[in-house]
Structure 1
Amino acid sequence: MAVYKREGKKGVAFVCDFIVAGQRVNQTIPGVRNLREAKAAEARMRAEAEARINASGNLVKMSLEVAMERYVAERLMPRSKPAAVANYLIYLGMIRDYFGPSRPVSAINNAACAEWWGALLAGRGGGKGPVKANTAKRYLGQLKAVLAFAAEAGAGNTVPTFSPTVADDARVRWLTTEEEDALLAASPPWLQDMIVFVIETGARKGEMTGLRWRDVDLQQQPRGIVRLYFTKGGEPRGIPMSKRLRALLERLKEGAPDTRPDTPVFQWQVRGAEIWAPMGDFKKSWAAALKAAGIADLHFHDLRHTFASRLVQRAVPLLQVPYL
C-alpha cells in the first residue's frame, strides 16, 4: 500500500511506501494530521522522487532545495505566524544561496556548518555582509531545522551537531522581587497582566500574544493548564498553572468581552470605541514603565529569565518546574 498508519511511542504516524527507479521508499510523512493530507504528501514525495532520477536511471539523494520546499510546506507554514514565516524565508534564502539548491542534504555535515559559520561572520555566507555571532547562530539553527526535517522524512542524512559558543549569550538579566513590585506599580493594568503571565509561565512574547481561550483549560486538574502553540521550536507544550496564574486567567476570562475559543486572551480596547483587538506592539508602554520604575537594562524577554532564575533559586527539580 502507498500510505498507511503506524502506532509508535509518539502516537500515530503516517508512512508512505512506494518504489521508484527500483528503489523502495519507506518513510514517515512529517507534518500531516489525517489520511487525506498524508496521501497528498505521498503524491508530492513520489513526484519529487521521480524528478530526482538521473540520466542513468538511478534515484539521487534528496537535495537541499527539495528539503527546504517540503519543510516550508509541511512544517513551517502550518506551525508559524505569517510574520515569522517571512523571517524564516530570508534565512532559508541565505542557506540556499550559500550551499546551492542541488546540494544533497547528506553532504551538509559538521565541517560544512563550521565553514558556513566562519563565512557568515566574514561576510561571505550568502547575505549582504558580515553578521553578528547571535544572528549567525539563528541562521545555523534554521539550517539544522531543515536537516532534521529531511532526516525525519527519510533522506538518510545525519543532523550536524556543530554548535559554536557565542560570548553574547552570557547576558542574563532578571527581575528582583523589589524590581517586580516597582515595575507592576508603574505599568497600566493590561501590561501588568502580561508581565505576570510571562513571569509565571516563562512564555515568549509571541507565545503570549498568540494565546487563545481554547488554549486555556481551567478544568484540568489540579489547577488548570495553558497550552502554547506558537513556540520557537514549532512543538506545542503545556504549562500547568500556578495559583497566581490561575487567578489571573480567571479574572481575565470573567472580564473579557468575548471568550470564544478563537479569541485572543490578551486584547486591548480601541480608544473611543467598543472594539477589542489582539495585543500588538507595546514597546513604548514597556519603555515608559521601565523609566517610571527606575529600572535599566531590562528586555521583555528577560521576564523569561526571571521565571527560570526563581526556580533555580528555590532548587526546584526540572521536572517539577511547570507545577509551581
Structure 2
Amino acid sequence: MRDKGSKQSVKGLLVRVQPSGTKTFYVEIARGKRERVGDASQLTLAQARNKARETLGKAASGHDFQAERRQKKAVADSTLGAYLDGAFKAHAEANIASHKAFIASIKRAFAHVLDKPMAEITELDMAKWRRNRTSVKLETQRRELTYLKALLNHAVATKVIPSHQLTQYRVKATLADKPSEAKVRYLSDDEELRLREALGAREREARAARMRKRTWEAARGYELSPVIAAEDYADHLKPMILLALNTGLRRGDLFSLTWDHVDLEKRQIRKIIGKTSHSRRKAGKQIEPAVLPLSREACAVLEQCRRQWGDYTTVFHSPITGGPLTDVKKGFAAILEDAGIENFRFHDLRHTFASRLVMAGVDINTVRELMTHADIKMTLVYAHLSPDHKAKALDMAFGGEG
C-alpha cells in the first residue's frame, strides 16, 4: 500500500503487510531499494512521513545504509549480554568447569550493564555495581569482578572489542568491609545421625505409601504397582546422599556416574572428574581418570543400586526420561527439614567427607588425592579441622611430656 492522494504524501513511502498481519513502513530510496522506516503499530502516518523524508535526504547525500546496519549489528553483538549468551558461552562451556555459575554470576551482578557495549563499560558503572552489592562479602565482589574482567579480556583477545576500560580497576576494601572467615560447613556427628534417621524414615514411609496405593488399585481392579522390597531403595535420594558422604564426589559427578566407572570387584570408581579435567586441560596436562577407593558402605550402596537399576547406563537415572538424573533439590531440602539441619547444601556432603578424613588423622596430601583437588591449596581449608595436628608436629620435633 503506497502513500498517495494528498499534498503531504511522500513519494516511495509504502506499508508492507506480513502474513502474520504485522505492518511495517518502508520507503523506496532507489529503483528496487527500500529502507525500513518503522513499525506501523508504533508510528502515526505523519511520523512515518517525516522519517521517510529524513531517509530520502540521507540517500540523496550518498549515505551508506548497509554500512550503518553493519555498524549497528556490531554494536549490538558487542554488548555484554549478547556476548555472554553468544560467543563467550561456547568458550565457557568448553573451558570453564563451573561455566553455568560463572555466567549466572555475571548476569546477576552486572544486570545494569548487560545492554551496554563492552568497550563502553566504565569505572562509574563499577561504582554503581559496588553500591548495589554492599550486602555482599568483599571476597564475593572480587570474584564477580574477576569473572567480568576475564570475559572482557576474552572479548579483546578474540577482537570483538579493541580494548576495555577496567584493566586497572580493583575492588578496594573500605572500613565498612569486614573480612570474612573461611568456614567449611560439614555435618556434626549428631547431624549425620539425624540425617541417616530421616533417610530411613523416608524409605519406610515410601514403602507404606506404596502398599496403600496397591490397596487402592486392587479395590478398583487396576494393575498393581510393584512392591518396594525391604532391601530396595525407594528412589535415588538415599543412595546418592550416602555415596556423596562416602566418596566426596560432587553432585555433577554423581549425576554423570555410569556403571562403566564402577568396579565393585576392585572396590573403586575410575572416572574423569569434571572440574579436575578442566584444570588439567588449561594447564596443558593429560586428562586422566581419578581412581577412588570405595568404603564398605559405598560398596554396599552400589551393589544394591546395581541389583535394582543395573540395566540403566547411569547409576542414578531419571525415572521419567531414563537418562541421567539432573536434580535432587526438592528431595534434599525436604530431608534436611525432616532432620532439622539448617544452612546446609548438597556440596557440604563433600566437605563432610573431607572433614572426616582430616579429623581421623589422614595426611593432607592423601586427602587432596581423594578429593581430586588439582592444587593442595584447595585442600588446606580443611587442615584446621584436625585439632591435634599442630600439637603432634611439636611433639615430633621436640618431644612430648616426660
Q: TM-score, normalised by structure 1?
A: 0.52
Pairwise CA distance, 1:67: 8.5
**In 2, distance between residues paired with 1:304 and 1:80?**
17
Matched AA of 1:175: L
> Does 2:292 match 1:241?
yes
Following superposition of structure 1 onto structure 2, how do residues 15-94 of structure 1 map, counting pairs within 5 Å?
70-76=87-93, 87=104, 90=107, 94=111
Aligned pair partner of 1:132 in 131, 136, 161 = 136
**In 2, distance between residues paired with 1:163 and 1:316?**
38
Q: Secondary structure at the match of 1:266?
A: coil
**In 2, distance between residues paired with 1:85 and 1:265?**
28
Aligned pair partner of 2:243 in 184, 197, 211 = 197
**In 2, distance between residues paired with 1:205 and 1:317?**
25
**5+ residue gaps, structure 1:** 1-62, 124-128
Deviations 1:227-281, CA, capped at 9 Å, x for gaps: 332x499547854323224553444344325443xxx4323535xxxx6464354
Equivalenced residues, count: 240
Matched AA of 2:145: L
Aligned pair partner of 2:271 in 226, 234, 237 = 226
Deviations 1:138-197, CA, capped at 9 Å, x for gaps: 523422543675799899999999797875564432112342233123114422222223
**In 1, distance between residues paired with 2:182 and 2:98?**
29
Aligned pair partner of 1:302 in 317, 334, 348 = 348
**In 1, distance between residues paired with 2:347 and 2:294?**
23
Q: Secondary structure at the match of 1:241?
A: strand
Matched AA of 2:301: L
Q: Secondary structure at the match of 2:345?
A: coil
Following superposition of structure 1 onto structure 2, how do residues 273-292 of structure 1 map, counting pairs within 5 Å?
276=322, 278-292=324-338
Q: TM-score, normalised by structure 2?
A: 0.44
Match of 1:319 in 2: 365
Matched AA of 1:90: K
Pairwise CA distance, 1:89: 6.5
Match of 1:51 in 2: none
**In 1, distance between residues paired with 2:114 and 2:144?**
13
Q: Structure 1 residues 159 and 180 mapped into 2: Cα distance closer, same or farther (>3 Å)?
A: farther
Aligned pair partner of 2:131 in 100, 122, 131 = 122
Pairwise CA distance, 1:291: 3.6
Q: Secondary structure at the match of 1:316?
A: coil
Deviations 1:2-21, CA, capped at 9 Å, x for gaps: xxxxxxxxxxxxxxxxxxxx
Aligned pair partner of 2:118 in 93, 101, 110 = 101
Q: Structure 1 residues 140 and 277 mapped into 2: Cα distance closer, same or farther (>3 Å)?
A: same
> Does 2:148 match 1:143?
yes
Deviations 1:24-49, CA, capped at 9 Å, x for gaps: xxxxxxxxxxxxxxxxxxxxxxxxxx
Q: Secondary structure at the match of 2:301?
A: helix
Deviations 1:299-320, CA, capped at 9 Å, x for gaps: 3232122122223223433331
Q: Structure 1 residues 228 and 194 mapped into 2: Cα distance closer, same or farther (>3 Å)?
A: same
**In 2, distance between residues paired with 1:283 and 1:216?**
25
Aligned pair partner of 1:176 in 178, 188, 194 = 188
Q: Secondary structure at the match of 2:119?
A: coil
**In 1, distance between residues paired with 2:178 and 2:241?**
28
Aligned pair partner of 2:197 in 181, 185, 198 = 185
**In 1, distance between residues paired with 2:163 and 2:302?**
46
**In 1, distance between residues paired with 2:248 and 2:116?**
36
**In 1, distance between residues paired with 2:158 and 2:360?**
42
CA RMSD of aligned residues (A): 5.0
Pairwise CA distance, 1:122: 0.4
> Does 2:328 match 1:269?
no
Q: Secondary structure at the match of 2:272?
A: strand
**In 1, distance between residues paired with 2:265 and 2:364?**
21
Structure with more strand by fraction = 1
Tell me which structure has the larger Cα radius of gyration.
Answer: 2
**Contact 2:271-2:289 within 8 A present in 1 as well:** yes
**Contact 1:174-1:306 within 8 A present in 2 as well:** yes
Structure with bigger RCO (C-alpha 8 Å, 6+ apart): 1
**In 2, distance between residues paired with 1:267 and 1:146?**
35
**In 2, distance between residues paired with 1:150 and 1:219?**
47
**Contact 2:186-2:355 within 8 A present in 1 as well:** yes
Following superposition of structure 1 onto structure 2, how do residues 197-216 of structure 1 map, counting pairs within 5 Å?
197-209=243-255, 211-213=256-258, 216=261
**Contact 1:121-1:131 within 8 A present in 2 as well:** no
